[in-house]
Structures are given as structure tokens and as C-alpha cells.
Amino acid sequence: MVSARALPRVGYRLALDLLAEAGLSRREGETREAFARRVADAAPSFAQITTYHLDVAMGDPATSPWRAQGHGPWREALTALRAELGASVRLRRRLLGLLNPFSLFMAR
């Protein structure tokens, strides 16, 4: 189980990894918000994950409402992201992403 303190970073990276496996990664110089808008058709819940992450990363982490609510909102958003990618990205593409050891490096 991830600590509440590490959850915004770990949860966002997990989301990036899932997107990279589906062939969706940030372009060089692309902001987090622009990336979330670009992948919105395939993964609309990623916008909420990005909001959670930025709220903690750019705001006061101690007072972030997402940290106070614990793992619930993150778990729900990541579950929704998995379901959206399962519905919008072809199975073949997802399998290629799982088999490609370099797909995780594309997410960073």
C-alpha cells in the first residue's frame, strides 16, 4: 500500500505508465494539462488524475483535499482510467505495450 504522502506522485506515474502501454505518451515540452486534454477522448478520467497530481505538486501538500480523502479518489480515478483504456484502445495495442519493455520509459 502506498502512503498518502507518496500517492500523488505514484498514482500519477501509474497513470502515465498505463497510458504509455496504450501508446499515449507526453510529447517533449507538452504540459501535463495539455497532455490530459489531448488524451481526453481515450481517457477522460486522466484529466481528474492530473488535477489531483497538480493540486498536491503545485499547492500546499499538507492541505490538499485529495490527500485528506486518502486512497479513495485515486483508486476510483485509476480504476476508471483502466476501464476507459480497455474500451478505447485495441487489445492488440495494449498487448504490444505490455510486451514492450521500453514503453515505461516513454512515459517519463
Query: pLDDT tens digits, the chain, 108 residues: what are they?
Result: 777 777 888 889 989 988 888 888 899 999 999 999 999 999 999 999 998 888 887 876 666 655 556 677 888 889 999 899 888 766 665 555 555 555 545 555
Does residue 91 fall inside a structural domain? Answer: yes
Predicted local confidence at residue 8, as pLDDT: 80
Q: Residue 88's domain spans which residues? A: 7-106
Grid cell locating 98: 505490455
Which residue bears the cell 521500453?
102
pTM of structure: 0.77
Q: Do the beta carbons of residue 11 and residue 49 sit within 8 Å?
A: yes
Domain tally for the chain? 1
The radius of gyration computed from the CA coordinates of the chain, to the nearest angstrom, equals: 14
Does residue 16 fall inside a structural domain? Answer: yes
Does residue 2 fall inside a structural domain? Answer: no
